[in-house]
């Protein structure tokens, strides 16, 4: 009578092996397809553990179906897709993978910044489509990164990683955060400022705040209007932090210069989404933490969180809500 563990995606073999030693596994193993909510609702009924990811919605209705659930473990740092309050109220431990993916996600964020500023993807398409006829004095000209001003909204671990990279590019660093970070000010010469001031002064606005139903849009019409016409907006946090209609309008009317997006309000984003019709938008499919090494580590840590949770032990990385 082994405990049942539901795994909503095909996960790396090593992680799966760890889980198998501790329970009976139901794994949804279609590589490209998320586990349908209806099937998850059914499978969760007799489960002790749920191994999940950012693509699943773990809401109250689902938890209502799961009287035996002891642990939810997400292979992510963000947990905005999980109703943590309801889980905790029911005595279900929730685990995530902070810290491990910080540098990998900061790398991708900087890659997106550079790609958007220097029109890297647009330029690549230009060559492949046979449109390259000659060298042109102003052909595919972008924005300078070296020495520019970067404004980071949300100075957590990933924000700090981006700031360290920015320092290497001799950028002037501004940040906005719930708390001031004196060590960042000292070590990287970062300046704390209000959101409005950050938006007005930055050449690059990088959004790294966690997603949350309560805070709603951090970036909307008013915020985009404050940005420079030459400014580039980057989001590798959560799509729900941004009013996409306002972003589309700002980009279309050239109120801002370009955007680089790894996340969307609805994922996967539809190819008919208005933002995808704009040449000054660089898009990626939520791959911030997607390096082989980091995703492997995340999978293993998520397994350890889950195992600890179903065995009533302390989780290596537990989500604590205040």
Rule CB under 6 A: which residues touch ligand GLV?
Answer: 54, 76-78, 98, 101-102, 156-159, 208, 288-289
Residues annotated as part of the active site:
238, 267, 286
Considering just the CA atoms, what is the radius of gyration of the chain in Å? Answer: 21
DSSP string, 116-185: HHTTHHHHHHHHHTT---S--TTTT-----TT-EEEEE--SHHHHHHHHHHHHTT-EEEEE-SS--HHHH
**Per 3-state DSSP, what percentage of the chain is helix, strand, and coil (rounded to 5)?**
40, 15, 45
Shortest separation between residue 201's beta carbon and ligand GLV, angstroms: 22
Tell me the angle at which helices 120-128 and 102-117 cross, rounded to the nearest 10 degrees: 60
Shortest separation between residue 26's beta carbon and ligand GLV, angstroms: 23
Shortest separation between residue 297's beta carbon and ligand GLV, angstroms: 12
Whichever of 209 and 310 has its CB closer to ligand GLV, that residue is 209
Shortest separation between residue 137's beta carbon and ligand GLV, angstroms: 40
| Residue nearest ligand GLV, Cβ-based | 156
Whether a cis peptide bond, with omega within 30° of 0, leads into 102 is no
DSSP letter, residue 241? G
Tokens at 262, concatenated = 């790894």
Is 53:27 a contact under the CB 8 Å cutoff?
Answer: no
**Helix, strand or coil for residue 54?**
coil
Whichever of 40 and 77 has its CB closer to ligand GLV, that residue is 77
Whichever of 208 and 301 has its CB closer to ligand GLV, that residue is 208
Q: Hey, which residues does 282 pair with through a beta bridge?
A: 260
Shortest separation between residue 15's beta carbon and ligand GLV, angstroms: 15
Query: Of the candidates 171, 192, 172, 170, which has an alpha carbon nearest to the alpha carbon of residue 181?
Result: 192
Whichever of 202 and 294 has its CB closer to ligand GLV, that residue is 294
Whichever of 73 and 102 has its CB closer to ligand GLV, that residue is 102
């Amino acid at each position: 009578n082994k405990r049942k563990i539901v795994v909503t995606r095909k996960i790396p073999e090593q992680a799966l092996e760890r889980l198998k030693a501790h329970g009976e596994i139901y794994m949804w193993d279609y590589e490209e397809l998320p586990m349908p909510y209806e099937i998850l609702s059914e499978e969760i009924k007799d489960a002790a553990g749920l191994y999940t990811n950012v693509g699943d919605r773990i809401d109250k209705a689902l938890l209502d179906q799961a009287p035996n659930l002891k642990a939810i473990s997400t292979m992510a740092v963000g947990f905005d897709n999980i109703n943590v309050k309801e889980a905790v109220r029911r005595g279900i431990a929730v685990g995530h993978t902070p810290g491990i993916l910080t540098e990998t996600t900061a790398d991708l964020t900087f890659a997106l910044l550079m790609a958007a500023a220097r029109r890297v993807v647009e330029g690549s398409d230009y060559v492949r489509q046979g449109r390259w006829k000659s060298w042109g004095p102003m052909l595919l000209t972008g924005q300078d990164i070296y020495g520019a001003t970067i404004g980071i909204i949300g100075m957590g671990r990933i924000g700090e990683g981006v700031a360290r990279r920015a320092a290497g590019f001799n950028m002037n660093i501004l940040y906005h955060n719930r708390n001031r970070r004196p060590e960042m000010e000292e070590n990287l010469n970062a300046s704390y400022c209000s959101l409005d001031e950050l938006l007005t002064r930055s050449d690059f606005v990088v959004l790294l705040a966690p997603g949350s139903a309560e805070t709603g849009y951090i970036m909307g019409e008013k915020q985009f209007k404050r940005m420079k016409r030459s400014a580039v907006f980057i989001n590798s946090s959560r799509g729900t932090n941004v009013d996409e209609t306002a972003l589309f309008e700002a980009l279309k009317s050239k109120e801002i210069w370009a955007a680089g997006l790894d996340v969307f309000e609805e994922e996967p984003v539809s190819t008919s989404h208005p933002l995808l019709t704009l040449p000054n938008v660089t898009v990626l499919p939520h791959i911030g933490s997607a390096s082989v090494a980091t995703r492997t580590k995340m999978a293993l840590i998520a397994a350890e969180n889950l195992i600890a949770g179903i065995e009533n032990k302390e989780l290596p990385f537990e989500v604590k809500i205040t």
